[in-house]
Amino acid sequence: MSNVQPEDRTPILVGCGQLVQKEKDVEKAKSPMHLMADAARLAAADTGLGDALWKAVDNITVVRFITDSPDSGRLTFGRYPNAPKTLGNMLGANASKNCYGPTGGNTPQYLVNHTAELIAEGETDVALVAGAECFATLMRALGRGQTLPWHDEPGGTRIDIGNERLGVSEVEKRHKVQYPVNIYPMFENAIRGQKKLSVREHQLEIGRLMAPFTEIAAKHPQAWFPVSRTAEEIATPGDDNRYVGFPYTKYMNAIMQVDQAAAVVMMSVKKARELGVPESKWVYLHGCGDANDIWYLSERVNFHSSPAIRTIGRKALDMAGWSIGDIDFFDLYSCFPSAVQIGRNELGIAEDDPRPLTVTGGLPYFGGAGNNYVMHSIATMMEKLRAKPGSKGLCTSNGWYVTKHGLGLYSTEPVKGPWKRENPASYQAEIDNEPHPQVDETPNGKAKIETYTVVNGRDGPDFSIVFGRLDDTGARFVAHTPKDPVTLMDMMEREQLGRGGTVKAASDGSVNIFTPE
């Protein structure tokens, strides 16, 4: 044990719980609220306090459900007007603060960072931070035309945390860039161009990157797909592994249709001592950071980097007094392989570094539980660190389209001195002011492809999206190509990066069209 004596207001994580539900009968399956309550009870038991914890909880914070996220209007049930209050009622807790987080895969880490700050400043003593999704059950019910009784009106006022700003501009949305399965492969093609690899070389490299994720998922008791796969299986398209957004096969995509829940308990060192939580349970947040990349995709510096991840990595490591070489365990956000590669590169982790990049198995294999995946990575990280006292862990999180980012550094070793982080607003302006291209929403003229994807349905190529640059002005634009099968197959069979052509603005306000030469 360390001789460092943490200060009373130091925030710590003292309990974690997570579970998976694989019930196929929608009538028997638990709602996300009930599954979350079960995860919360597991976290309370993990502290050693059990249900006695609920009398001490003064803050219940819940990760936003998919059903409450933008563009979820077709999801006809599953909305909770005050989810944290409903959760508190189910647990027998009467928290003075009922908080609800924003949309985004970055949300769990963002909420842990935010709650740690509240604890350090004396505004919260004991907090439950929880989330769940039962999207598999929800979609199964919708497919059968069923509506499930997932609703509650507990009254009270919730505190909304964060920003619910939409992730794409109107012109981007018009071109269907708002779907993650469409944009992340565009990041991937940009990465391939930077590395100067052929499509097949790059796909095999992606397979080698992600195969170890499947091995870890295969051993995780809460994984949705506990199946180990080879690099060749992941990288090779086939009947069971069709293309989704070229160059991604199905095995490279996050799977959102899962039923999973996770929760953590946080409190001050002083409160943990008063309540008698064993020090063997304590995990410290040594460093953290939150930042956004330039918000709209069409305005990004490029499509293969993230100034925001680079910045929060530096800020968090400086706060902890660590280096990237000190880290024993990583969980890099892994909705798609491009997110892993961008995170790895910006944090300065070498491609041949032997340390695994996940503790769960990642979103394509462990399961992408909506906005809540990172709660699972934090819970799993806590278990890893407790099993190896003094070790160090790093979790990243990512919301929208490599847009919103959070990072946490964890260890059982105590934090030295008062816990205080730099206000994220102090470094956000630096990121926003990165030089970036102008956008032409109605482009006309000669142009070149900067990055692209071909969106595939079950029957093959459907349409393609390109980000490009105009030859005369250098302005960036977004467009589709002609939808004829010859063009679409050609875009999947030979390199398109840097390919010239002509772009024409839509006269009817629909989509711009780039016609390759």
Q: What is the reported pTM?
A: 0.97
CB count in 10 Å sphere of residue 399: 24
pLDDT digits (tens, 9 = 90+) for 384-440: 999 999 999 999 999 999 999 999 999 999 999 999 999 999 999 999 999 999 999
pLDDT digits (tens, 9 = 90+) for 259-291: 999 999 999 999 999 999 999 999 999 999 999
Distance from C-alpha of 323 to C-alpha of 316, rounded to nearest angstrom: 10
With bands split at pLDDT 50, 70 and 90, how would you rate the model's confidence at 507?
confident
pLDDT digits (tens, 9 = 90+) for 164-177: 899 999 999 999 99
Is residue 99 in some structural domain? yes
pLDDT digits (tens, 9 = 90+) for 362-388: 999 999 999 999 999 999 999 999 999
Residue 241: what pLDDT?
97
Is residue 103 in some structural domain? yes
Is residue 41 in some structural domain? yes
**Contact at 8 Å (CB) between 380 and 360?**
yes
Q: What is the CATH number of the domain that holds 505?
A: 2.40.50
Residue 271 and residue 408 in one domain: yes
Mean pLDDT rounded to a whole number for the chain = 96
Q: Kindly give the pairing relationship between strand 392-399 and strand 404-411.
A: antiparallel
Is residue 239 in some structural domain? no
Q: What is the CATH number of the domain that holds 313?
A: 3.40.47.10
Residue 271 and residue 409 in one domain: yes
Q: DSSP letters along 39-94, please?
A: HHHHHHHHHT-GGGGGGT--EEEEPPPGGGSTT-TT--S---TTHHHHHHHHHT--
Residue range of the domain that includes 137: 11-168+255-432
Is residue 335 in some structural domain? yes
Is residue 226 in some structural domain? no
Is residue 222 in some structural domain? no
With bands split at pLDDT 50, 70 and 90, how would you rate the model's confidence at 72?
low
pLDDT digits (tens, 9 = 90+) for 186-241: 999 999 999 999 999 999 999 999 999 999 999 999 999 999 999 999 999 999 99
Distance from C-alpha of 234 to C-alpha of 122, rounded to nearest angstrom: 48
Residue 404 and residue 461 in one domain: no
**475 pLDDT above the threshold of 70:** yes
Tokens 């305005």 correspond to what residue?
Answer: 299
Distance from C-alpha of 229 to C-alpha of 217, rounded to nearest angstrom: 10
Residue 73: what pLDDT?
66
**Contact at 8 Å (CB) between 223 and 365?**
yes
* Chosen domain end from 402, 432, 462: 432
329 DSSP β-pair partners? 393
Residue 359 and residue 504 in one domain: no
CB count in 10 Å sphere of residue 285: 29
Phi, psi torsion values for 11, nearest 5 degrees:
-80, 140
With bands split at pLDDT 50, 70 and 90, how would you rate the model's confidence at 75?
confident
Number of independent structural domains in the chain = 2
